[in-house]
Structure 1
């Protein structure tokens, strides 16, 4: 995870958000249960300007695992405070509650919520204050209760994800070794520039790579 800056509220939510919220709450009251309300009242946040803003905000990567989405995985609009939880129905169309997420992290998180140690909000907090990487294993380690919640709720140490992070780690570590061994100053600059491409905010797992660079380079 990495900290991002939230953009301005998309026009569709700015113009219609309050109305959509009131219509939804009215439907929940009439039907007696959120699950009985038709999707047309619950999914109006799925607008093109909302999707575009979230994709841009997160550089087309999942807000939790930092893997690029849209090609190998479906992108989801994620509600940090779960929309199915009755306490958060009023936040379904709140821009500050929406994030960009891959299918696997979104399915893992589901409707989980921890009042005592809520999941990290990368749009207002720096995840590095709550979690860090084990540069040996590629797993994410909690630095606090909220870090532990985030890891568990989004399943950030699932086997396939750790393996994927470590495949990129192997490439980066080879470049780091070459950087340190080369006698050529020009080659050293070349390798360092190449390494930094892996740490670019648009690259997969860039937070992990930055920690590797800080540790080994």
Structure 2
């Protein structure tokens, strides 16, 4: 879960249409939010990801459901309030179910930065305070097969890539493969890996956290600095990753 920057509501969602459809929902219970312009607007500010687990909603079996942060059955007047709508995968939406977020608040990632309330520990997410702990519990953010296993696979792949980049860099330093192609392979490979932790990437919080907390990353960074290869793009990428990464639990 990462902080999302909500965009303005779609122009098509006028006050008149919102009032009409809200009245229709109250009368019939019809899913009056299933419009393409609403879904497109939600996916736009989440980079096509679930607002909670960061899965790619465009993947098969993870299709978008319009999530009502304050549950639609309890808070009917907010059924089309733009600030109450979030993009969620079917699994997270179903897991949250009818939890009352007003009586027992959890993290709304469009309003609260999750990294201020969540920490990372061995591919598991843990709350650092009451709202963080309740968020993890309500959304089941440590579901073993769906989420923890996926985080482990991502982390393992990142660690292997960091080791490979360090080996390539050592060969470059030792003169075994000291040419422009090798240099570009190292620098571009490092940038490509770091981009996996940017907000636009799936599971970016996991990727950013693993990258920045791995000892192999520190080794690689120091080597590139010594070679004057740690350029402005890499500096900015590290800044951006720090905005997304969770703190490790001590």
Q: 1:133 aligns with which of 108, 114, 120?
A: 120
Q: 1:75 aligns with which of 64, 83, 90?
A: 64
Matches within 5 A, 1:1-217: 1-15=1-15, 16-25=17-26, 27=27, 37-39=28-30, 43-72=31-60, 73-85=62-74, 88-115=75-102, 117-134=104-121, 137-160=122-145, 161-181=147-167, 182-183=169-170, 184=172, 186=183, 187-216=185-214, 217=217
Deviation at 1:116, TM superposition (A): 5.4
Q: TM-score, normalised by structure 1?
A: 0.85
Rg bigger for which structure?
2
Q: TM-score, normalised by structure 2?
A: 0.74
Structure 1: give runs of 5+ residues left out of the alignment: 28-36
Offset from partner CA, 1:121-159 (integer Å, 9 cap, x none)? 11111110111221xx21111011111121111111101
SS at structure 2 position matched to 1:76:
strand
Offset from partner CA, 1:141-187 (integer Å, 9 cap, x none)? 10111111211111111012110111111110111223334322725
SS at structure 2 position matched to 1:13:
coil
Distance of 2:55 and 2:188 partners within structure 1: 26
Contact 1:12–1:47 (CA<8 Å) still a contact in 2? no
CA RMSD between the two structures:
1.8
Contact 1:46–1:77 (CA<8 Å) still a contact in 2? yes
Deviation at 1:89, TM superposition (A): 1.1
Runs of 4+ with deviation above 6 angstroms: none
Change in Cα spacing, 1:179 to 1:117, as seen in structure 2 (3 Å) is: farther
Contact 2:25–2:32 (CA<8 Å) still a contact in 1? no
Contact 2:70–2:102 (CA<8 Å) still a contact in 1? no
Structure 2: give runs of 5+ residues left out of the alignment: 174-182, 218-250
Contact 1:63–1:99 (CA<8 Å) still a contact in 2? yes
Contact 1:178–1:191 (CA<8 Å) still a contact in 2? no
Count the aligned residue pairs: 200
